[in-house]
Amino acid sequence: MSQAVSALHMKFGLFDVNLQAGELRKQGLKLKLGRNALKVLGLLLQHPGELLTREEIRQALWGANTFVTFDQGIN
């Protein structure tokens, strides 16, 4: 179950994520997570229990004016 502290700082289970600082911690230990992976995690945490489409994820990661090989980029 996710427990929101604020829109940019959230706790879930043993994890604590600070989206503004770009940090993910597990029981206080900082974990390495790529920029896009952190964005996807933040997006999912901000929409608990919701199904997000691949298009919504693409928009959040790259915006409307960026063209990428989405299937490879998101996988």
pLDDT digits (tens, 9 = 90+) for 17-71: 999 899 999 999 999 999 888 988 999 998 989 999 888 888 888 776 766 665 6
Per the DSSP assignment, residues forming a β-bridge with 2 are 12
Of 37, 45, 40, 43, nearest to 12 (Cα)? 45
> Which residue segments constitute the domains of the chain, with CATH numbers given?
2-74 (1.10.10.10)
Type of residue numbered 34 = G
Q: Please give the C-alpha separations between residue 53 and each of 21, 40, 67, 74, in angstroms, as whole numbers.
A: 26, 12, 17, 12
Note the pTM of the prediction, 2 decimals.
0.73
Of residues 57 and 7, more confidently modeled: 57
pLDDT for residue 13: 92
Question: What distance in Å separates the CA atoms of residue 67 and residue 6, rounded to the nearest whole number?
Answer: 32
Lookup: tokens for 52: 């997000």
